[in-house]
Structures are given as structure tokens and as C-alpha cells.
Structure 1
Amino acid sequence: MKKMICMLAAFMLAGGAAHAGADDTLNKTGCMACHAKDKKLVGPSFKDIAAKYKGDKQAPARLAEKVRKGGAGAWGPVPMPPHAPERLNDADLKEVVASILAQ
């Protein structure tokens, strides 16, 4: 039982560390200049994005593509600029998309 509790605690801490890494990446790449976790700024909140894509198994791939290519129209007229791999590598992109969808 003690071993199971320790394993659960380690799992939770690892998840928290991954979430903190995603937060750092969101800040470092400028995402937080236009987005917030729970309110609309220039772009939609991460909570609104997560709600829109809830239950969509293709959401991670769709959002990653939107981040890479940028675009406008899905959330209003203000365009989101593209984020090239030099600015946001594939591993970090995957991590931030997962973090956004977990809101």
C-alpha cells in the first residue's frame, strides 16, 4: 500500500512538472501575450479552446496544425501568427497542446 501511494505521488508530481514546463513554454513563445487560461484576451482562453475540442480525438493534431500555420476566422477576425519549429519545437508544441486541452 505504501509503495502504491509513493508511486501515485511520483506520478502526480511528474504531471505537475510537465504542466509547469508547458506554462514556461507558453510564456517563452509569446502565447500568453494573446491568450489566458480562463479569459479571452486577443485570442480565446485556453479553457474555451479545451471546451470547443472536448471529445474530439483529432484535436491535438488540429490544434498543432493551427499553431504551426496560424490563421484567422475560427475565433474572430484577429489572425494568429504561425509558430515555426525554430520558435516552438515539435516536442514543446505537443506538450503545450496537451496542456491546453487539459484545461
Structure 2
Amino acid sequence: MGLGARRMVLTIWGLAAAVGAVPVAAQAQVSAEQRMAASKNCLSCHGVQRKIVGPAFKDIASKYADHPEAATRLADKIRNGGGGVWGPIPMPANPKVNEAEARQLADWVLTLKPGG
């Protein structure tokens, strides 16, 4: 194998390794809280940056970040549901989320305030 062929093989292997590493790197940037939000079906209705059925998490953070009881109130909404705050579609209760998980999710959502 000539020098040019060796370089091409090394380049191809290098590109293959780099492409294979992308999903691992991308997964590392997803927080434990975001993975929990996905596993508890929060992301079925809420996007981090955009509204789906419910408001975007960043919009929730913007609205409530300066409220002293925001995390407690959001944790309660996560577990027990609610309605009328963001429009006519109510948020259903989520009994699969325990109190500690609800608080962790609420604290995480509040960190998503733009510029925060």
C-alpha cells in the first residue's frame, strides 16, 4: 500500500471515529434533569425552548424565576396538574413523579431562564 492510500485509510478511519463519537458527546450535554423530564413524559407537551402543547420550559422559567415560592409551586403543578395559567388546555397530574423528582424538575426548569 502506497503512502497516499495509507493516508486515505487513516483519514477514513479518523472520520469514522469522529462521526461515531458525536452521539456520545451530544448525550453528555443532556442533563440528568432533562433525561428525567423525558422519562416522565414532560417533553411530550413541553419543549425546552419552544411551546408544544404546554409552554416552553424557558418561558415558565422567565415567568416564575423571581417568585420566592416558584420551585414549590412548580413542583406542585408537576405532580398535581393545573390549568388556566397558560391557556385553556389543563396540565394533567403526573402521579409517576414523586415529590423529590418534582422538586428537582422544578429547580431545573427555573435555571432555564434566558440570560439566567
When the two structures are superposed, what TM-score results if normalisation uses the length of structure 2? Answer: 0.68
Structure number with bigger Rg:
2
One-letter amino acid of the structure 2 residue matched with residue 95 of structure 1: Q
| Unaligned ranges ≥5, structure 2 | 1-27
**Residues 78 and 93 of structure 2 are in contact (CA less than 8 Å); yes or no, is this contact kept in structure 1?**
yes
> In the alignment, which of 56, 72, 94 is matched to residue 61 of structure 1?
72
Aligned residues: 84
Q: Which amino acid aligns with 1:90?
A: E
Q: 2:88 maps to which residue?
A: 77
Higher relative contact order (CA 8 A, sep 6+): 1
Q: Which structure 1 residue ranges, 4+ long, deviate > 3 Å from structure 2? A: none
Structure 1 runs not aligned, ≥5 long? 1-16
Distance 2:31 2:50 in 1: 19
Provide the rounded CA distance (Å) in 2 between the counterparts of 1:95 and 1:66. 13
Identity across the alignment (%) = 39
Match of 1:25 in 2: 36
Give the structure-1-normalised TM-score: 0.76
Matched with 2:109 is 100
